[in-house]
Amino acid sequence: MLSILSILLATLAFGQASDPPKVPAQDQPGDVAYAHLDRAYEALRAKEYEAAIAAFEQAIALAPDRPSIHKDLAYALLKVGENTRARDHFAEALRLDPSDTHVALEYAFLCYETGQPIIARRTFARVLASQGVTQGIDAVTAAVVRDAFENVDRPLREGIARWKEALLANPNDFSGHEELARLAEQRDETALAAEHFEKAWKLRPERRGLLLDLGRNWKALGRVEEANAALLAASRGAEPRVAEQARELLPSRYPYVYEFQKALELDPTNTGLRRELAYLHMAMGQDADAERQFASVVDASPRDLQAAAQLGLLLLKNGDDASAEPFLQKVLAGNDPALVDRVREARRARQALKERPPEPVSAAASDAKQMGVKSLEKGYTQDALRYLAVAHENDPGDFEVMLKLGWTNNILKRDREASRWFDQARKSPDAEIAAEASQAYRNLQPEVERFRTTVWISPMFSTRWHDLFAYSQVKTEVRMPGLSWLHLYGSVRFVGDTHPADRFAIGWAPQYLSENSVILGAGIATSPWHGATGWFEAGESFHFRPEPLDTSTATPDYRGGVSFTRGIARQSSVAGKWFAETNDDLVYVYRFDNDTLAYSQNRVGHALPAVLGSAQFYWNWNITFDVKREYWANFMETGPGVRFHVRGAPKSMLFSVNALRGEYFIMAGNPHPQVFDDLRVGVWYAITR
């Protein structure tokens, strides 16, 4: 019934076939979107829906706040079956014009059809409550709307009544409370949902995901302090997905002490939450409170060496050596070298204090900012995070603290949080801090952005082949939520050269010096791990120069492999610095008779003094071989090279010149001399958006 009415409304909106749509009166010549709208309605009359959609989208880019364009685009999308996109444009049209009953109903029906029944129910209820159905649409449609609302609402209503009755018979039924709470939340009975989420949580306190549900409903009820307590507890110690969702609902600032205390009243067994409060007490100089919290953590988690170390060090600091010793011994017997070194250092310092009169502790030594910086320098990143958070709370305008928080989160692999701090720090009036933060923010953006597009081109001339080769690629990556180590991508590659053909090539080997193809592909790749990346892609290779033995214009193209990159001397572009780097690939290529090839390109060099730009001199050591033992894929090369960046050129543009001498390993069927010389001149340029 819902789908039928959706189609009915779309037909009514566009008119009958004998009455084609026209450009609305307000969209007349002189309007910035007129030309695109005129094209869109012409395309609709011709039933060229794809062209109409493209024209509507161009019009929206020029006039994004006009609800009629979003509405007409949505109807066009319905014509081609793009229901989800149509729903989103109806939503935007309704936001811009909440009084449009037809749009509200279309949005509600499409929400129901695309798996959003709760939003559908709310929209139907809003229309019915405003009596819009009796004023804006006919009686038949009004009856259908009431039926649609009832179809969504009845299962929720009946389910709530059924679970209420079941809980009267068994008040301690965990599943009953959880199901009743979820149904109540879907029906917007927020108080009932909160009541039963709380009861479910008390029955199963280890299910911290329920704290997220409880906090969300308390927040909707305006119980802000209680909501923050529940969300704070859920954000510490819960499964990663729940913790991330809870953090998104929390205030952007760092929690206050009393908020930690309220969260612990709600979730007293949350050791992660208690440990963080203990560090916060330490940063604020409240050692006694910190000691009590660490003692509770150690009691609950005897194997927590970090908490044991902190408790022991606090007791040692306060002169209670006897009480500290069991905790310090536990750490020394553990398998954490960093904690062992820290305990030994504290013991030596304690022994030195016993041999000389105590000195007054300066106020600066207890300053949260300095403690955070020192902890970061010594590698105690968790400590640094707590101290710096307190320093930021005390002085929210300190841009240096923001920068340090960015680096600390970056070290802890919390890249999204690090990016947020770098973004704030790059607004610093201090040019040095702003520059460092801006560079870090730009470097980190590719790791946190959902979509990333990279374009690179690399033309090269070879004297050995007297040929100009060209390689380029456009690649868009999509990072999937919850799978930061894996991403999908789509790519378009160009591989070609100007040489007519390799007249010496024999057998199945390619007749040209390059593939001479445009390759469309889609694939999946891992994020770099210790310099290694795995990938696989499938696509189609379109040949713009067919081979003599293969005149087809398109061939399936499957490739995959592992890439490894590693370098030393990070500042190799600075004169006076040596560097070494390796780029290694193991690649399977379906098109080359299911062959697997290995490449290893290695360079050792020295940065040259900058005159017109930066430059590096290096020595090449390259080797290539394959599984099928083809002559063209088994050789080595060595020789000097230089690469340089010309001042004034784009930063990512590099020029290179390499003089190489090579030797083939296999001569069977090889028409070329075993030893060869080659001078290669090339350019590399890449941009990322």
Whether residues 84 and 113 fall in one domain: yes
| Angstrom distance (rounded) from CA 660 to CA 640 | 7
Alpha-carbon Rg for the chain, nearest whole angstrom, is 33
In degrees, to the nearest 5, what angle opens at C-alpha 143 toward C-alphas 139 and 144? 120
In degrees, to the nearest 5, what angle opens at C-alpha 569 toward C-alphas 566 and 570? 80
pLDDT in tens, 552-598: 678 888 999 999 888 776 544 444 578 888 999 999 998 788 899 99
Number of domains in the chain: 3
Burial class (CB in 10 A: 0-12, 13-18, 19+), 44: buried
| Angstrom distance (rounded) from CA 539 to CA 491 | 9
Identify the CATH number of the domain in which residue 577 sits.
Answer: 2.40.128
| Angstrom distance (rounded) from CA 267 to CA 380 | 27
Q: CB of 475 within 8 A of CB of 488?
A: no
Whether residues 63 and 127 fall in one domain: yes
pTM (predicted TM-score): 0.47
In a domain, 219, yes or no: no
Q: Which residues, other chains included, contact 519 with Cβ-Cβ below 8 Å and sequence gap of 6+?
A: 491, 492, 493, 494, 495, 539, 540, 541, 542, 557
Burial class (CB in 10 A: 0-12, 13-18, 19+), 552: exposed
Query: What tokens were used for 84?
Result: 């989800």
| Angstrom distance (rounded) from CA 113 to CA 39 | 30
115 in the Ramachandran plot: left (φ > 0), alpha (ψ -120 to 50) or beta?
Answer: left
% of residues, the chain, pLDDT over 70? 82
Query: What tokens were used for 153?
Result: 């609402």
Whether residues 441 and 458 fall in one domain: no
Nearest to 404 by CA among 363, 431, 429, 371: 371
In a domain, 43, yes or no: yes
Whether residues 115 and 50 fall in one domain: yes
Q: CB of 316 within 8 A of CB of 338?
A: no
Whether residues 388 and 470 fall in one domain: no
Hey, what long-range contacts does 264-269 have (CB within 8 A, 24 or more apart)? 264/233, 265/229, 266/211, 266/229, 266/230, 266/233, 267/205, 267/208, 267/211, 267/233, 267/237, 269/205, 269/206, 269/300
Query: What tokens were used for 241?
Result: 């997905």
In a domain, 209, yes or no: no
Report residue 237: phi and psi, to 5°.
Answer: 95, -5
Would strands 578-589 and 554-568 be described as parallel, antiparallel, or unpaired? antiparallel
Query: What tokens were used for 204?
Result: 């199963």
What's the pLDDT score for residue 506? 38
In a domain, 223, yes or no: no
Report residue 571: phi and psi, to 5°.
Answer: -95, 45
What's the pLDDT score for residue 371? 75
Whether residues 537 and 587 fall in one domain: yes
Q: How far is CA 78 from CA 10, 70, 354, in A?
A: 8, 12, 82
In a domain, 250, yes or no: no
Report residue 366: phi and psi, to 5°.
Answer: -95, 5
In a domain, 167, yes or no: no
Query: What tokens were used for 197?
Result: 């989420």
Write down which residue in 127, 156, 185 finishes a domain. 156
Whether residues 433 and 481 fall in one domain: no
What's the pLDDT score for residue 505? 41
According to DSSP, the residues that pair with 486 across neighbouring strands are 526
| Angstrom distance (rounded) from CA 358 to CA 405 | 33
Whether residues 442 and 591 fall in one domain: no
Write down which residue in 133, 156, 179 finishes a domain. 156
Whether residues 417 and 505 fall in one domain: no
Whether residues 485 and 429 fall in one domain: no
In a domain, 186, yes or no: no
In a domain, 425, yes or no: yes
**Structural domain boundaries enclosing 521:** 451-688
Eight-class DSSP state of 552 = -
Burial class (CB in 10 A: 0-12, 13-18, 19+), 360: exposed
Q: Which stretches in the chain have pLDDT values below 50? A: 1-20, 25-27, 29, 132-134, 353-366, 502-512, 549, 571-575
According to DSSP, the residues that pair with 550 across neighbouring strands are 547
| Angstrom distance (rounded) from CA 547 to CA 179 | 65
Residue 521: count other Cβ atoms within 10 Å of its Cβ: 20
Query: What tokens were used for 527?
Result: 């994020």
Whether residues 106 and 151 fall in one domain: yes
What's the pLDDT score for residue 523? 92
Whether residues 474 and 619 fall in one domain: yes
Residue 138: count other Cβ atoms within 10 Å of its Cβ: 11
Write down which residue in 448, 467, 495 finishes a domain. 448
Exposure pattern of 615-627 as b/e (b: 16+ CB <10 Å)?
bbebebebbbbbe
Q: CB of 53 within 8 A of CB of 78?
A: no
What's the pLDDT score for residue 306? 81
Would strands 578-589 and 467-480 be described as parallel, antiparallel, or unpaired? unpaired
Identify the CATH number of the domain in which residue 377 sits.
Answer: 1.25.40.10
